[in-house]
Homo-oligomer: A and B are copies of this chain.
Amino acid sequence: MLICSKCSREYPERFRLRCSCGGTLLVRHELPPGFSDAFTGHLDMRRYLRLLPVSEEHLPELVPATTPVSRLDIGGVTAFFKLEYLQPTGSFKDRGTWVTVAKLREEGITEVVLDSSGNAAISLVIFAGRAGITAHLFVPAHTSPGKLTLLERLGGELHILNGDRMTVHREAVRFSEGEGLTYVSHWLNPYFIEGTKTAAFEAYEQLGVPDYVIAPAGSGTLFLGLWKGFWELKGMGEIDELPIFVAVQASGHESLCERSSVKSRLADGIAITEPPRLKEMRAVLDETGGTCVSVGDSEIARALKWLWGRGFIVEPTSAVVLAALWRLQKSGFIPSDSRVLLPLTGSGLKTVEGI
């Protein structure tokens, strides 16, 4: 079923973005008694199929990967970088898109609307296209040239708009309402989070429970997915405690942290000032004793250079988690000897020209 994060009203497990009260929704399902009993034999995302609200027959043939983890020592902290950019379309979005498209197929939906800073649109056009679903993709004109070129090559109904990320979002909503089309925004879509939660399942198999999870938090799809994955592991009795969650935001685009006046241009993937799931993100910080960190472009650039120097070919938004780790080591929030999970979200191969 779906459950409202605001008024706890329940809905059947259909494709739906909001409660009638306006609240956001999450999927709530019966958890199996044990985590490892739930595995399938697959070496890809289907490994956790029994923990997902989709049936095998509607799954897209293109399957997201289980991504590797690279372990590095950073000033006494053991950093586990999870290479989420090694997905079929070059970002973690594929996890959420894969579950979403399976659900859309199940419901027979054939035309949808999405707004994105680039990666979610690239992911959707690929998975939806193959499933016979027409995707209207609303992206800002300032989307990185590499991503725009790719979108143009991939087909789909591309709507390139002037204005910031929130303007593009509002236009997409207006269009979907006007045309009577299904709006599938990952900002709201509860099935998307079902996909991203599998990154936590994998991380748990790969390194156990980390002390801290440092995740980018724009709309919160990855941040909340990682939280939900660990929360379900706790629900299954597999772990006792959640990790402490750190939300990383970009200067000038903060929603959880205090808003700064200087706007980041590098972290375009999280330039989201009014995320619909803001309260849920805040609740995760409260529940786990976490914190929010806002990082600026000079820190992001330094972190990006560091990551490329270690062989991680990622896009600028991916570097915010390292910039945040450095900051929290300096402030003492994250002590030496901590074990920290840092997802690296998007491939730098899409943005090579721009770096």
- Which A residues have a C-beta under 8 Å from some C-beta of B? 41-45, 60-72, 83, 86-90, 126-127, 129-130, 146, 149-150, 153-154, 202, 205-206, 308-313, 347, 349-350, 352-353, 355
Contacts and interface: CB of A to CB of B under 8 A. Distances in A.
A230 to B, nearest CB: 17
- Which 7 pairs across A and B sit closest by C-beta, in order of nearness? A349-B349, A44-B68, A126-B311, A62-B311, A63-B68, A65-B68, A43-B66
Contact of A149 (B69, B87, B154, B353): B353
A227 to B, nearest CB: 21
A77 to B, nearest CB: 14
Contacts of A153: 308, 352, 355
Main SS at interface, chain A: mixed
A149 B88 contact: no
Given A89-B311, A308-B154, A44 B61 contact: no
Nearest to A90: B349
13 contacts: A43-B43, A43-B68, A43-B205, A45-B68, A61-B310, A62-B311, A65-B65, A65-B66, A126-B311, A149-B353, A150-B349, A154-B308, A350-B352
Given A70-B62, A153-B308, A88 B146 contact: no
A353 B69 CA distance: 30
Contact of A64 (B68, B90, B146): B68
Contact of A70 (B61, B69, B90, B308): B61
Contact of A352 (B63, B149, B355): B149
Given A149-B353, A311-B129, A86 B65 contact: yes
Contacts of A88: 68, 83, 86, 311-313
B83 A65 contact: yes
